[in-house]
Chains A and B, each alone.
Chain A
């Protein structure tokens, strides 16, 4: 009896326990199903994306930047290509694709040995970036190296390569400051331009036209979709998106003129020149010395070149034509003349006597010298001979207010708006400025200095060429520009052409214009620019010799200026204006004029004046 009751009790307990067993098993199976629903149905799409990310390797195809031609470009003809591209490869990797840090380090060690790059700087580069970012290990690698890496993917796992056309500046230093160069996008630039579709691995124009027209030149990158297995062996490849090459560009610059100008400037350590057509503002040549070779800068491996150049005390990266201010010196006498004539204070026939010096009467007499004793001369001859004593007296009679306001009319204290980045403006003082800065009123001595372009006034070479431009164009100044048109990458169609753009119109009387032009003409025929008289085309010009603060170095204490145009007395459409500046040249006539001479000679040869 007792046995049966125990047995029954046991059976009952067994029953309960079996029910518990089966229900816990059921519950656990339910949990498995829930997780499967979660993985495969709820998050299915997300995981599908991850699985694609696993096997798909998106490798960007860098679009080649637009080519750049000079102004003589003709469709379907052999043209001078100033900037072109050369096919090449980059070696890249994505650090996060490695299974372990050790594997990454081992692979990078082997790769750095093969490519001869510094392992330390490579790892440094990686640690500063998002691990999913594509890191460029080396740029501009030849095809043999690619084959080595491609066929040894077991030794170089996750090491990829991509097309990366390399920019070639065919004339090296010659166009350095006008075209600029490109470089890897910096993190600040990237932050700013991310929204415009720029990618962190891309190149961007860093200076010159490459910078100011970057959006038009860059093109659109494409990508290759590569199917890879876990060891990064390629299973298949397809082009996901074809890159679109950037637009081509036709400059207003003339290769021949630029070359001659470059040769002419070769002997001078520092200086700048601008050649432009006043009737349209088209820049034909633009030089700044010293210069650099953009080809050496654009590659990632040439950090040393860049540091050397940036550390150079002569500042080769500075575009002196637009980024450097100089006292205009005697070239400013043109402004003084214009102010005098326009204000009606003088007539062209007004003559002063030049005994070689001018004594300004005052509390204490002060002598201002002329470089020569000119005797008595009228305004034409004063311009031609650049007689300072004449202009001292002229300036005093015209008054500083008139002179300064005409300098402002010509925009000598404003950026010209040239299509290059980083332009600065010249400086024109004022009574107010002087009082604020020095706590002194404007003295007559300041006026004397101002009238010959010394003292406080400073200008950039491109502002000076604009001054000539205004004279030639009867007071109208067009914005200087270096780009004539943008074409599609097959050159077939013009996307955008840059028309002349009027930036200022100065009311000048014909008497004023004719007087100044005649003075400048006389300077060529029998004055300070005499050397230019031998050319077949009638030219007009004005020299200048700026004194700078480094007076002690006797021979090189002066900047040499020449501004001028040709042909004299023809319609403005045929004219070409030139401004030349040589830093620490011996004197205006001796350094700057021969340069202008060679340019005018070439311009004539090429038929610009016809």
Chain B
């Protein structure tokens, strides 16, 4: 089990930080659940307290476990979660048009939350096993597949926000696991080219931009694009083949950007052709909510008003007009940070940022000091789960990230996310308590 020395190495700061965050969250849920017209509270905060108690127990359990056994059963965990996820997606009862929840009478569970952890465990184990070969491009195939399967299932629920979160987690783990930087950067560049070109064209068309130049004309001409990207593609293949026979860096310098640009352009054509204008517009609104101030943009505008109007010291507990009078949407889940920022001001929001920064910093440090590669990868994966939740959620409510419905870990109302986050903390503490001792 656990030695005395290990107990001494339990990170109590992490536990205290988490408890502080959860407490702030519960207070905010209490405040947001209070209806000033009916003068009654929705009582959501009580449920959150129960979830927290349950999560705390799970966290302690995780602390006592030997984390290496997670690696031993990684495929089982991943497989079982995948099956549950599939069952949920097929048979789950739709809540707000999304089949993401498995209902057990008085509570329900969102398996996609736990899938994040399952993916981190299986990726950690795989990357540990393949440590020596991971710099080969072909080794990226299995991790990509492991990630793609849950993404496709979750996209079918459909839950765009959760699905998209898996991609940065995969990248962080590949990065930490030692994948070739050139490969990772190439993939990122292809994605950027493939999406940015059609988006710019749609945007200019939508706002009725005047004027044109030869670059825009080039991107608009699909046939020309096809020819250019085809030529590039063939040239890249030639260079790629040649570089096996003649060891010369020049070939690599040609085929790498060649592949990036040709794939990028081909995908951009595909996006232009496959997606309808309204779908592309929806993505644009997702990127820039100001384009649609009455639709999804409305939420972000209200959220920014809530946060901004909080000022330095906030409007006071239960006194935030934006949340109390209902201008703020989804105030107990996605927009909980806005509630806190409005009522506690800059003081409260910075406090929350600092607490999150402590968790992320500690996570990275634990990964750095982990006893083995699996521990390091597991800690990095867990940290990236928490970090990207924080970044995407806070980034969204303060208006610098697209609108995706992701909860803020420890703070937002929601049992599954809280349980998952508490398990994550338990595992982190576990890894630290067994850390590499010089």
Contact = CB atoms under 8 A, between A and B. Distances in A.
B312 A44 contact: yes
Contacts of A6: 132
Interface in B119-138: 131-132
Contact of A40 (B341, B364, B395): B341
A50 B293 CA distance: 15
Given A14-B176, A51-B321, A228-B325, A40 B304 contact: no
Contacts, number: 127
A171 B294 CA distance: 51
Interface stretch (B77-85, B243-251, B346-354): B346-354
A38 to B, nearest CB: 9
Nearest to B36: A235
Interface in A494-549: none
Interface in B343-369: 345-346, 349-350, 353, 356-357, 360-361, 364, 367-368
B305 A47 contact: yes
B298 interface: yes
A123 to B, nearest CB: 17
B286 to A, nearest CB: 18
Given A40-B312, A50-B309, A99-B294, A32 B398 contact: yes
For the residues of A in contact with B, the DSSP-based class is helix
Interface in B124-179: 131-132, 172, 175-176, 178
A267 B311 CA distance: 74
Contacts of A230: 325-327
Interface string B288-305: 000000110010001011
A455 to B, nearest CB: 67
A101 B292 CA distance: 12
B36 A36 contact: no
B322 A36 contact: no
A229 B327 CA distance: 7
B321 A22 contact: no
Interface in A194-246: 227-231, 233, 235
Contacts of A22: 361, 364
Contacts of A14: 176, 178, 376
Nearest to A228: B325
A36 B350 contact: yes
A18 B367 contact: yes
Given A44-B308, A100-B295, A229 B400 contact: no
Interface in A332-371: none
Contacts of A235: 36-37, 325
Contacts of B326: 229-231
B398 A36 contact: yes
Interface string B23-50: 0000000000000110000000000000
A54 B305 contact: yes
Interface string B168-207: 0000100110100000000000000000000000000000
B325 A55 contact: yes
A576 B367 CA distance: 108
Contacts of A32: 353, 391, 394-395, 398, 400
A18 B308 contact: no
Closest 7 CB pairs of A and B: A47-B308, A51-B309, A230-B326, A229-B325, A44-B311, A40-B346, A48-B309
28 contacts: A17-B176, A18-B176, A18-B364, A18-B368, A25-B387, A28-B391, A32-B353, A32-B394, A32-B395, A36-B307, A36-B353, A36-B398, A39-B304, A39-B307, A40-B310, A44-B346, A47-B309, A48-B311, A51-B305, A51-B306, A51-B321, A54-B302, A54-B325, A54-B327, A55-B321, A55-B327, A100-B294, A228-B325
Given A21-B172, A21-B175, A22-B361, 15 more contacts: A15-B368, A21-B176, A29-B353, A32-B395, A35-B398, A35-B399, A36-B341, A36-B350, A36-B398, A40-B346, A41-B312, A44-B310, A48-B311, A50-B308, A55-B325
Interface of B: 36-37, 131-132, 172, 175-176, 178, 294-295, 298, 302, 304-312, 321-322, 325-327, 341, 345-346, 349-350, 353, 356-357, 360-361, 364, 367-368, 376, 380, 387, 391, 394-395, 398-400
